[in-house]
Structure 1
Amino acid sequence: MATVTVGTARVHYDVEGSGDGPALLLVHGTGSGGAVINWGQTAPRFTGDRRVVTLDLSGADRTVDDGGPLTVEALAAQVAAVIEDAGTGPVDLLGFSMGAPVAATVAALRPELVERLVLVAGWAYTDGDEYLRNLFTLWQRLGEFDPAGFGRSVTMTGFSRGFLNSIGRESVEALVPNMPPTPGTLRHVALDLTVDIRDLLPRIEAETLVVGGTRDITVPVENSRELHAAIARSTYAEIDAGHVMFFEKEDEFVKTVTEFLGS
């Protein structure tokens, strides 16, 4: 465990594994559980011959800051600082959901820090997408007035219908508390409503893989297709799963990413 100071934030990060090739840095999505909730199960799958870095962005429980509003650029600066502090750069950089626009911003503004880029279930622009704007606004309302409803909403949209039915009611009920509407989570949701990285996408120089989930009803797959179209050196893959595809189709997700990274 290590920390690096970025502005008012003490950013927590971990480095696991070994190897001489580019490290893989995983950027989590919305939720104060941060890296542990997103990557606790999947990150070890990548550590066979490389170092894997996970960090907790502001809003996550293990990173402490002033509690103010978040921006994509500020979180991108935290990722860049972790790369520099860990001494692992340039890295292969993977961002999931909210972490995708953050990772894309790092690649656009700090190209010397990014070897290859992977954007999973991401999007470029919220305000012009009425589905995304309304979903994130609903999350804000549920987080304020109906915390239990918030948990059910993010579970229902985070996983595909087929996956939820396959694991059964007891397991579904166990998922519901995984992303409570803590102040940190709601800071992330507020950020989700402001995302607009359209001007940065043409500046990305790194070879990029964009991965969409065909059954994603948090960030519908069309958003991933639009990211791919806007990034010149990108390839595209789809996984037949919901938003949290690395839970639903972990083997396929790992295979898709590792084949692109050449490891």
Structure 2
Amino acid sequence: MATVTVGSAHVHYDIEGSGDGPALLLVHGTGSGGAVVNWGRTTPRFTAGRRVVTLDLSGADRTVDDGGALTVETLAAQVIAVIEDAGTGPVDLLGFSMGSPVSAAVAALRPDLVGRLVLVAGWAYTDGDEYMRNLFTLWQRLGEFDPAGFGRSVTMTGFSRGFLNAIGREGVEELIPNMPPTPGTLRHVALDLGVDVRGLLPRITAETLVVGAAQDATVPVENSRELHAAIAGSTYAEIDAGHVMFFEKEDEFVRTVKDFLGSAAA
């Protein structure tokens, strides 16, 4: 466990695994649970022969800051600081959901720090999708006035109907508390509403894989397809799952990412 100070934030990060391969840095999505909730189960699948870095962005419980409004650029600066502080050299960078535009910004602003880039269930511009704008606005309202409703909405849109039915009522009820509407989570949602990285995408030179979720009810898959179209030379893959595809189709997700990282290295 380590921390690096970026402005008012004391950014928490962890490094697991060992080996000579390029480090892989995983950037979490919306939610104050941060890296543990997103990557706790998946990180060990990537540690063979490489170090895996996970960080907690401002708004996550394990990173302390002044509680101010967040921007993509603010969080990108935190990722950059972790890469530099960890001393791992250029990393392979993977961002999920909110972490996707953040990771895209890192690759555009500091190409020297990013070897390969993976953008998972991401998007470039919230105001360009009325569904997402209204969903994030609804989350803000539920977070303020109906916390229990917030948890159910996030669960309903985070996973496909088939997955929810497969795990049954008890499994669904266990998922609901994973993303409570804490002040940190709601700071993330406010950032989600303002995302616009369209101007940065043409500056990305890293080999890039964009992964969309075909049944995504949080960030509709068309947004991933648009990211792919906007990043020159990028590769695209689509997994038949809901937004949190690495829970629903963990083996396929891991294989898709590893195949890209391996083929890009070759």
Contact 1:57-1:75 at 8 Å conserved across structures: yes
Q: Within 2, Cα distance between the matches of 1:76 and 1:89?
A: 17
Q: Within 2, Cα distance between the matches of 1:262 and 1:86?
A: 23
- For 1:138, the equivalent position in structure 2 comes to 138
**Aligned AA for 1:216?**
D
**Aligned AA for 1:65?**
D
- Secondary structure of 1:212 counterpart: strand
Percent sequence identity over aligned pairs:
87
Q: Within 1, Cα distance between the matches of 2:262 and 2:255?
A: 10
Deviations 1:34-73 (CA, angstroms, capped at 9, x unpaired): 0000000001100011100000000000000000000000
Structure 1 segments unaligned to the other structure (5+ residues): none
- Secondary structure of 1:81 counterpart: helix
Q: Within 1, Cα distance between the matches of 2:233 and 2:56?
A: 28
Q: Within 2, Cα distance between the matches of 1:204 and 1:128?
A: 21
Equivalent residue pairs, number: 263
- Secondary structure of 1:122 counterpart: coil
- For 2:73, the equivalent position in structure 1 comes to 73
- Secondary structure of 2:238 counterpart: strand
- 1:89 to partner: Cα distance: 2.0
- For 1:117, the equivalent position in structure 2 comes to 117
Moved over 6 A (4+): none
- For 1:255, the equivalent position in structure 2 comes to 255
Matched, 1:84 2:84: yes
Structure 2 segments unaligned to the other structure (5+ residues): none
- 1:233 to partner: Cα distance: 2.2
For the aligned residue pairs, the C-alpha RMSD in angstroms reads 0.6
TM-score using structure 2 length: 0.98
Q: Within 1, Cα distance between the matches of 2:94 and 2:66?
A: 26
**Aligned AA for 2:185?**
T
- 1:18 to partner: Cα distance: 0.4
Q: Within 1, Cα distance between the matches of 2:43 and 2:219?
A: 22
Contact 1:206-1:233 at 8 Å conserved across structures: no
- For 1:178, the equivalent position in structure 2 comes to 178
TM-score using structure 1 length: 0.99
- For 2:217, the equivalent position in structure 1 comes to 217
Contact 1:123-1:223 at 8 Å conserved across structures: yes
Contact 1:213-1:240 at 8 Å conserved across structures: yes
- For 1:167, the equivalent position in structure 2 comes to 167
- For 2:25, the equivalent position in structure 1 comes to 25
Deviations 1:13-47 (CA, angstroms, capped at 9, x unpaired): 00000011110000000000000000000011000
Q: Within 2, Cα distance between the matches of 1:128 and 1:171?
A: 34
Q: Within 1, Cα distance between the matches of 2:153 and 2:49?
A: 38
- Secondary structure of 1:95 counterpart: strand
Q: Within 2, Cα distance between the matches of 1:89 and 1:33?
A: 27
